[in-house]
Amino acid sequence: MVEVENLTKSFPAARGRPVPVLRGISLQVPPGQFLAVVGPSGSGKSTLLYCMSALEVATSGRVRILGRDTGGLGRGAIAKLRRDHLGFVFQSYNLIPSLTARENVALPARLARRRISGADVDRALAEVGLAERASYRPSALSGGQQQRVAIARVLAVRPDVVFADEPTGALDTESGAQVLDLLAGVARSGQDRSVVMVTHDLEAAARADRVLVLRDGVIHRELISPRADDVFAAVAGAS
Ligand SMILES: Nc1ncnc2c1ncn2[C@@H]1O[C@H](COP(=O)(O)OP(=O)(O)O)[C@@H](O)[C@H]1O
Ligand SMILES: [Mg+2]
C-alpha cells in the first residue's frame, strides 16, 4: 500500500547546515496491516508520517503510495491521490464547530464534489458508535467522541490507507482505547485497508500488528504483534 525507500528529510537551520531528521528510512505497509511507529518526542515521527503520505516532500528517497511513485506526480495528482485514497486522523480533531457531527462527516466529500449519501454518513457514524449523536455539534461531545467523529469522517470516504498522528494524544485511557479499537478495526475489516499510526504512547503502539521504533532518524527495531512490555523494552534499548 505504501512503500518508502531510503527516505531522508532535513530541515534548514537558522544558520549552518540543514538538520537531518530522517536519515534513510525504508519500510513497506502491506494491505490490512495496522502499523505503528514509535519514538520519543522530536524523533521525527510526524515528519515521517507527512512524507509517507505525501503531505510533505522528502529530501531524498522514494515514496510509493498504492503503486504510484509520488515523486513523479504533480501537486494536483497528489492532492487527488490523497483525497480519493488516504485518510488522516490527528491529535486535534479538526472538526468545524458550527457543523453537526453528521455535517462534519459529510464535509470532505462535499468539498471534493463527490456524492455522499446520508446513508453513508450515518453508517460511518454508526461504525464509531455515534449514531445517536449525529446531530450534536462538537462542543456537545467529549474529546473521545469528537475524535470518533473525525474517524467517521475518514471512514465515510472509504480510504485505502489511514494515517494517524498521535490520535490518542489528547484522550484519557478509555477514550483512547476506543479510538485504537476503531483504527485496528479499519485494518482488520478484510477490505485491504492499512493504518499507519505514529505515537509516543507505547501502550497504544502495542495495539498494532507491527511496531517500528524510530531512533536518531532511522528505524532501530521492528516488533511483530508485540506486548506493551516488548515495546517498552525496545524503546529503552534493552533486549
Ligand atoms: N517544518 C519544520 N521546520 C524545521 N524543523 C522542523 C519542522 N518540522 C519538524 N522539525 C524538526 O524535526 C524534528 C522532528 O519533528 P517531528 O517530526 O515533529 O517529531 P515527533 O513527531 O517525533 O515529535 C524536530 O526537531 C523538529 O523541531
Ligand atoms: Mg509529532
Indicate which atom in ligand 1 lies nearest the CA of residue 47. Answer: 17
- The verdict on the CB of residue 121 being under 6 Å from ligand 1 is no
Q: How would you write the pLDDT of the chain (239 residues) with one tens digit per residue?
A: 999 999 999 998 888 888 999 999 999 999 999 999 999 888 999 999 999 999 999 999 999 999 999 998 999 999 999 988 999 999 999 999 999 999 999 998 888 778 888 999 999 999 999 999 999 999 999 999 999 999 999 999 889 999 999 999 999 999 999 999 999 999 998 788 999 999 999 999 999 999 999 998 999 999 999 999 999 999 987 44
| Domain residue extents for the chain | 2-236
- The verdict on the CB of residue 46 being under 6 Å from ligand 1 is yes
**CA–CA gap between residue 31 and residue 195 (Å, rounded):** 9
- Among the bound ligands, the one closest to the CA of 169: 2
What local confidence, expressed as pLDDT, does residue 233 receive?
Answer: 92
Q: At a CB cut-off of 8 Å and minimum separation 6, what does 3 contact?
A: 27, 28, 29, 62, 63, 64
Please tell me the residue having the least CA distance from ligand 1 atom 8.
47
pTM of the model: 0.94
**CA–CA gap between residue 208 and residue 202 (Å, rounded):** 10
What local confidence, expressed as pLDDT, does residue 49 receive?
Answer: 97
> DSSP state, 18?
P
Distance from the CA of 81 to the center of ligand 2, in angstroms?
Answer: 23
What local confidence, expressed as pLDDT, does residue 111 receive?
Answer: 83
- Among the bound ligands, the one closest to the CA of 48: 1
Distance from the CA of 42 to the center of ligand 1, in angstroms?
Answer: 6
- The verdict on the CB of residue 9 being under 6 Å from ligand 1 is no
What local confidence, expressed as pLDDT, does residue 204 receive?
Answer: 94
The second-level CATH assignment, the architecture, of 2-236 is: 3-Layer(aba) Sandwich (3.40)
